[in-house]
Structure 1
Amino acid sequence: METVTKGIFINGLWEVKERSYALRAPYDGKVLANISKADAGDVDRAIAGAHRAFETMRKLPAHQRSRILQQAALQLRERKEEAALLLSQEAGKPIRTARAEIERTITTYEFAAEEAKRINGETIPMDAAPGGEGRLGFTWREPIGTVVAICPFNFPFNLVAHKLGPAIAAGNTVVLKPAEQTPLSALFMAELFQKAGLPDGALQVITGSGRELGDALVEDERVKKITFTGSSEVGKQIKAKAGLRKVTLELGSNSGLIIEPDVPIDKIIPRCVEGAFSFAGQVCISLQRIYVHESIYKPFAEQFIAKTEQLKVGDPSDELTDLSAMIHEREMHRIDSWVQEAVEAGATIGCGGRREGSVYLPTVLLHVKREMSVSCREVFAPVVSIVPYKELDEAIEMVNDSVYGLNVGIYTQHLNKAFHAAREIQAGGVIVNDIPTFRVDHMPYGGVKESGYGREGIKYAVQEMTELKFVSIKTQF
């Protein structure tokens, strides 16, 4: 059967480019499609089209923007199994995990449809200041313009939704650059939005090499906002090039979890294992560092390893698979070198520590030191470290000893310890009595330090994608 070539989506039309690349499934290497490679000229046309379409989008009433988002969510619900299979193939995500992502994506667009009707301002008591008498003051929010959205491979439906949803809800236009490994999800959603009635040009989808297209996407002055999810290194480059334009950056992490001695460990082990190894650890808030009080360290480590060894690895299309292929061969080489480096420096392998075909086995490391790459850098792989501590403040200090600060979790039955940790932990989110991998799609989400800049979560992203305008009316002459 001839392999289909997928085109880019510009101004409501599909364009197949002369240059393309073969998109292969991470698990078995099967060619899924040929993907068009856009160039800088295509980016210019896409931004120009989005800039023109903004005149239409900014005038769309809230109920129409809401209806478009509702219709996209409805169509995705009707085709959710098709979408899950596509996601499982191109990302190597186990099918059960893929279905969960599609459900979350539907919810995210539904939240966006609701928020489209909630964009409001406030009245200002002008006479609170001398000289403000006889004046009415109020604010409203206006769409910012054209948004460039650059998305990663690990949640290609839901992370796209966290950028498209609030942008459309606010009345903006979007130029979307999906990850090279997962473009099919973005193209699938472009089709749904077109059918949902989104005006031509309001969504442009540009596929191809990030290295080739990056500068053209982020340096164009017609772009008023850049929202990026990816590595800290690329995020810093984008921030430097953005100038005075708005930027939201969701970057790296090495999320930690503190487990206090008062917690019944048998009740939390399955959840901790899930947080460490879901989607092969390729999650921004994947559980990477577990700090366990020394009094329960040994039984926790033993039970955690035993549960990890029960995970089923293999074909992502298998309903029973818990963990499948990493996104690329080079990522397996990278993480294997980090694990071996840790072992040579004194760490021990509780389980895993090697690959089987395209799968890196879920790996538990013990006796890990802070300076090891598996501890101080972002693993983004199915590898977790378990480390003992004596006092809560010691654990907090170890959690904070990082260039990252996205989500951190703590399990404790003491309210005062929970609040103490919440105040002292340096992170965008502190999750009490759950893993740091927890996220629902309307909560504020983002990091501090090298984990990012700005906040996602539909309501909060809408604020990031609008400008606040103040109006004063003198009512007395």
Structure 2
Amino acid sequence: MSSTLDVVNPYSLEVIGSAETSEWDQVDGMLATAHRLFRQRDSWLPAYQRIEILKKTARLMEARFEDLAFQIANEGGKPLVDARVEVMRAIDGVELCVHEVGQMTGREIPMDLTEAGSGRLAFTQREPIGVVVAASAFNHPLNLIVHQVAPAVATGCPVIIKPAPDTPLSCLDFVGMLHEAGLPPDWCRAVVCNNEVAEQMITDPRVGFFSFIGSARVGWMLRSKLTPGARCALEHGGAAPVIVGEDADIDEMIPLLAKGGLYHSGQVCVSVQRVFAPPSKAQEIAQKLAAAAKLLKVGDATDATTDCGPLIRPGEVDRVEEWVSEAIDGGAELLAGGKRLGPTTYAPTVLLNPPANVRVSQLEIFGPVICVYSVDSITEAIETANSLPFAFQAAVFTQSLETAFQAIQRLDATAVMVNDHTAFRVDWMPFAGRRQSGYNTGGIGYTMHDMTQDKMAVIRL
């Protein structure tokens, strides 16, 4: 029996829409249909049809650009200016899938390297891996869906996507546009369901590939329960470090750090969180970051003048408030923010020298908080940056090639940005967490590779 989930604006908490939820019997039917489609190879969609569907989807997204941006802001709390950037990235991501379809090639395998292999010709080709089941996060409610669903469509995998319960509307719209563009509905279904049904779906033996974006606790737990043979990709978060050299251009750095740390009120998995600076510069950096933070307008994300929207739920405001208070009680100097502005908003916050053992120094804050630490050397900064069980993207600010390469070589990160913030990303680059921060690699082309598998033909001549 289906029921309805109300979707609220995270700033006003007013209901803005609803989504029909599914129970296991309905999801079971979707899995059965998807699995049947994959097993019936004569029914696979040829590449030219998949390309045409994705091209039409991109055109539909362009035609509904402002509506999609407003919906991202309305259901997810991302400021409208940033929501528009997300829509553009999502369109580009669909078009990138079109390009990558043509890159899904195999290769010749040389066979006559030994006498045993001589007289044979061998080559590989890429095939879809099977039914893809994906579970997504709230913070990029359209672009994350594109990253999980469009590669499945491009590679010819039937896909079932579960959006975050806070932000299902953008997902439902995207899946609807795929269908409108000509994708047979059974090849892509959106499922809004409770956690019990979701876990049963994800761990079902008919699933070939599981894509997850969300908390490490949930992601690693689900991975441990996957059916034997199922592949997966997990994208979690971190506590992104920034190393500041003695020669860094502070005035050039401040707007980048402020954007990287306070964009979407810090609700980004690679948001700037820990800034390690020389003792002679830490106070100045923290004060200038605080001045930048105080200029930001916090409010309803659908207001075009808003810089920082709400946190996704009131409970997240409570948590951020608790973590910041703990740091201040432990001796951190508060230079900006440090207070809730309402039931759903928290002021952009800058802390100087929080203790090493408090949560803002140990865990991902996922809120509008930047911490600046005074460290005596680059070596100490890198050692401290590497001390957590999370490793995702990192950054270094310096005018010295030696310092830059020291950070590149020694930071435990999948990407090190030089003179840029940790949240930089383009959608064709590899994007991944190490250790507890994730498993396998995201990015359109990399995801498409993971959703396919090699098959080799060996022909005796």
- Fold match, TM over 0.5? yes
SS in 1 for 2:233: strand
SS in 1 for 2:117: coil
- Deviation of 1:238 (Å): 1.1
In structure 2, the CA distance between the partners of 1:105 and 1:58, relative to structure 1 (3 Å rule), is farther
Selected match of 2:22 from 38, 42, 48: 38
* Runs of 5+ unmatched residues, structure 1: 1-16
Selected match of 2:273 from 280, 284, 288: 288
Q: Deviations over 1:298-324 (max 9, x none)?
A: 221221111111111112122111001
- Deviation of 1:191 (Å): 1.2
Aligned match of 2:12: 28
What residue identity is the alignment partner of 2:419? Answer: N
State yes or no: 1:61 paired with 2:22. no
Aligned match of 2:218: 234
Report 1:37-436 matches (<5 A): 37-54=21-38, 55=40, 59-209=44-194, 211-242=195-226, 243-357=228-342, 358-436=344-422
- Deviation of 1:140 (Å): 1.0
Q: Distance in 1 between matches of 2:91 and 2:41?
A: 25
- Runs of 4+ off more than 6 Å: none
What residue identity is the alignment partner of 2:31? Answer: I
- Deviation of 1:247 (Å): 0.7
Whether the 8 Å CA contact 1:232–1:251 is kept in 2: the answer is yes
Aligned match of 1:462: 448
**TM-score computed with the length of structure 1 as normaliser:** 0.93
Q: Distance in 2 between matches of 1:391 and 1:130?
A: 58
Whether the 8 Å CA contact 1:260–1:411 is kept in 2: the answer is yes
In structure 2, the CA distance between the partners of 1:58 and 1:278, relative to structure 1 (3 Å rule), is farther
Q: Deviations over 1:211-267 (max 9, x none)?
A: 232221111111100000000100111110113310100012111111112121101
Whether the 8 Å CA contact 2:79–2:264 is kept in 1: the answer is yes
Q: Distance in 2 between matches of 1:165 and 1:396?
A: 37
Report 1:429-444 matches (<5 A): 429-444=415-430
Whether the 8 Å CA contact 1:57–1:173 is kept in 2: the answer is no
What residue identity is the alignment partner of 1:277? Answer: L
- Deviation of 1:57 (Å): 8.9
**TM-score computed with the length of structure 2 as normaliser:** 0.97
Whether the 8 Å CA contact 2:286–2:351 is kept in 1: the answer is no
In structure 2, the CA distance between the partners of 1:57 and 1:66, relative to structure 1 (3 Å rule), is farther
Aligned match of 1:6: none
Q: Distance in 2 between matches of 1:416 and 1:138?
A: 44
Q: Deviations over 1:267-313 (max 9, x none)?
A: 11111100110001001111111111223222212211111111111
In structure 2, the CA distance between the partners of 1:89 and 1:57, relative to structure 1 (3 Å rule), is farther
In structure 2, the CA distance between the partners of 1:423 and 1:58, relative to structure 1 (3 Å rule), is farther
Q: Distance in 2 between matches of 1:327 and 1:57?
A: 44
What residue identity is the alignment partner of 1:22? Answer: D
- Deviation of 1:417 (Å): 2.3
Q: Distance in 1 between matches of 2:141 and 2:371?
A: 27
Whether the 8 Å CA contact 1:58–1:172 is kept in 2: the answer is no
In structure 2, the CA distance between the partners of 1:194 and 1:432, relative to structure 1 (3 Å rule), is same
Q: Distance in 2 between matches of 1:258 and 1:239?
A: 33
What residue identity is the alignment partner of 2:182? Answer: G
Whether the 8 Å CA contact 1:66–1:117 is kept in 2: the answer is no
- Deviation of 1:118 (Å): 1.4
Q: Distance in 2 between matches of 1:163 and 1:18?
A: 25
Aligned match of 1:474: 460
Q: Distance in 2 between matches of 1:171 and 1:33?
A: 32
Q: Distance in 2 between matches of 1:108 and 1:64?
A: 18
Q: Deviations over 1:314-354 (max 9, x none)?
A: 12122111001100011111111111111111112111011
SS in 2 for 1:274: helix
Paired positions, count: 458
* Runs of 5+ unmatched residues, structure 2: none
